Chains A and B, each alone.
Chain A
């Protein structure tokens, strides 16, 4: 079976500085794939390029067999890829419900209200506070909102950029359980994380990036036991 997403020899540059220097990876339908790496490794740049916020300098991005590299972001959302961006980027002045409805902006069907109900089932706290301004929420609640908002476009591929950033261990666990739940519901997930332990526990496959290149990759459980990972990301001696 062809992979759902296939990134091939992708190069992305800011001006003359190359942030991603020819990376290739694939995601199969139903998988959770994780990109690991320190700050500046090129993880967010990769997600932003898949989303269309950045244009690739060279290389290709195929989604369900179709080239999507260089398309405008709204076209990519319409194809079935959603992103919960780094730093969550919720609309703080808007209510929870308005944030979620914006997530469904690309849709013209009549089931948006049903999906709103599903998000409130997934995150009951959002339902209880649906009319409140989103800016008043805690980091964890904002992360739930950002994931819920991305889900409102009914994506087949959901990309999450550092969902655990700044969250307590307890909240991190909650978010990771949600990601697992979403996968069971049939969503394919590309996860960018610095929290290697949490991410690799979930991931079917992990890729380790360093300064814009993939250094090695393996199954999630295998990487958890990998000495290089343990030294760099898990703080083991």
Chain B
């Protein structure tokens, strides 16, 4: 039972971690909490579904086709949708407010969040052959992952959980390499520490900001696909709760700290799984599962606002 819940919590946490990285990378560069990031995650799931529909909704395919053709194409579709929308959002809703008081882009973010939800709700089903998006839509099964589990250490582990954990591992490794070993990565580090001075070094800060949004969106899209595979359903509201929980994970790990976002996500997922399983009586069970994330958020903000891995730094004015 414990091991089962641990795996469950870790894979759920990997999902939060993938989304949380987007909050933290963008915050690290522009000091903005992008509250529309949950909708980027949702766009990723819809992008993957779109590719599946454009492929003609292939059913009863082989595992090889599912894992080597369908899944990669769906992920690419999700990433293109999420990155495209994120870049558009940065250009139209945030860049014009770059020098405005901090409250302005925050309100803009909430506006973008609601707009994106409504755009998917109202218009996705209008495309010929596409399902109506007013309610939950069934996410396509991918042969080799959906409904398949393997037995590890005496418990059944869903392939979708393994996929999510593997995706987190690969994305984190890629991100580490990108930030620490590439020219653009060095530019990101410098910009996060001091944007004005970074620009005096010859760094195009606008470009760095776009890269930050794009990276966060790509990881959120991967999470969107993982979410679809895990729950077999997606809907236009899915970004709201997942986004808030991932934001909690980012704060828990220390906002601005990429490793922190991953650790925060995993911790949050495990806490949620354990709390729903082991807390007895009226506060136990899945009815309360969404509460624990926010209890943690409040506890962190009160007792350790810099997060688990964040260092105490004075906020630059």
Q: Is the CB of A53 within 8 A of B202?
A: no
Interface size on B, as a range, is 10 to 19
Please pick, from B187, B190, B193, B200, the residue contacting A73 in the complex, using a CB distance under 8 A: B200
- Which of A32-40, A77-85, A213-221, A222-230 is found at the contact surface with chain B? A77-85
Please pick, from B186, B197, B199, the residue contacting A72 in the complex, using a CB distance under 8 A: B199
The 3 nearest A-B residue pairs measured at CB = A106-B202, A77-B202, A73-B199
Query: In the assembly, what is the distance between CA of A153 and CA of B183, in Å?
Result: 15
Does residue A211 face the partner (Cβ distance < 8 Å to B)?
no
Nearest residue, chain B, Cβ from A91: B193
Provide the residues of chain A in CB contact with B203, threshold 8 Å. Answer: 74, 102, 105
Q: Is the CB of A77 within 8 A of B196?
A: no
Does residue B1 face the partner (Cβ distance < 8 Å to A)?
no
Provide the residues of chain B in CB contact with A74, threshold 8 Å. Answer: 199, 202-205
Chain B contacts with A in 193-220, Cβ cutoff 8 A: 193-194, 196-206
Please pick, from B186, B190, B201, the residue contacting A77 in the complex, using a CB distance under 8 A: B201
CB distance from A87 to the nearest CB of B (A): 10
Provide the residues of chain B in CB contact with A66, threshold 8 Å. Answer: none
Nearest residue, chain A, Cβ from B196: A53
Provide the residues of chain A in CB contact with B205, threshold 8 Å. Answer: 73-74
Does residue A93 face the partner (Cβ distance < 8 Å to B)?
yes
- Would A106 and B201 be within 8 Å (CB), given that A91-B190, A91-B194 are in contact? yes
Per-residue CB contact flags for chain A residues 33-77 toward chain B (1 = under 8 Å, else 0) read: 000000000000000000111000000000000000000111001
- Would A93 and B193 be within 8 Å (CB), given that A52-B199, A72-B199, A74-B199 are in contact? yes
Query: In the assembly, what is the distance between CA of A89 and CA of B206, in Å?
Result: 20
Per-residue CB contact flags for chain B residues 275-297 toward chain A (1 = under 8 Å, else 0) read: 00000000000000000000000
Query: In the assembly, what is the distance between CA of A73 and CA of B194, in Å?
Result: 14
Interface size on A, as a range, is 20 to 34
Q: Is the CB of B197 within 8 A of A105?
A: no
Chain B contacts with A in 132-172, Cβ cutoff 8 A: none
Nearest residue, chain A, Cβ from B207: A74
Query: Can you show 14 pairs from A to B with CB atoms below 8 A apart?
Result: A53-B196, A53-B199, A72-B206, A73-B205, A74-B205, A78-B202, A89-B194, A89-B196, A92-B193, A94-B190, A101-B186, A102-B186, A102-B190, A102-B198
Q: Is the CB of A85 within 8 A of B193?
A: no
Q: Is the CB of A82 within 8 A of B200?
A: yes
Interface centre among B186, B190, B199, B205 (most CB of A within 10 A): B199
* Further 18 A-B residue pairs, CB within 8 A, beyond A72-B204, A72-B206, A153-B202: A51-B200, A52-B199, A74-B202, A74-B203, A77-B201, A77-B202, A82-B200, A83-B200, A89-B194, A89-B197, A91-B190, A91-B194, A102-B190, A105-B187, A105-B201, A105-B202, A105-B203, A153-B201
Provide the residues of chain B in CB contact with A85, threshold 8 Å. Answer: 196-197, 200
Does residue A103 face the partner (Cβ distance < 8 Å to B)?
yes
CB distance from A178 to the nearest CB of B (A): 19
Query: In the assembly, what is the distance between CA of A103 and CA of B203, in Å?
Result: 9
Provide the residues of chain B in CB contact with A77, threshold 8 Å. Answer: 200-202
Interface centre among A53, A83, A89, A105 (most CB of B within 10 A): A105
Provide the residues of chain B in CB contact with A105, threshold 8 Å. Answer: 183, 186-187, 190, 201-203
CB distance from A137 to the nearest CB of B (A): 16
CB distance from A142 to the nearest CB of B (A): 13
Q: Is the CB of A103 within 8 A of B199?
A: no
Query: In the assembly, what is the distance between CA of A72 and CA of B193, in Å?
Result: 19
Provide the residues of chain A in CB contact with B186, threshold 8 Å. Answer: 98, 101-102, 105
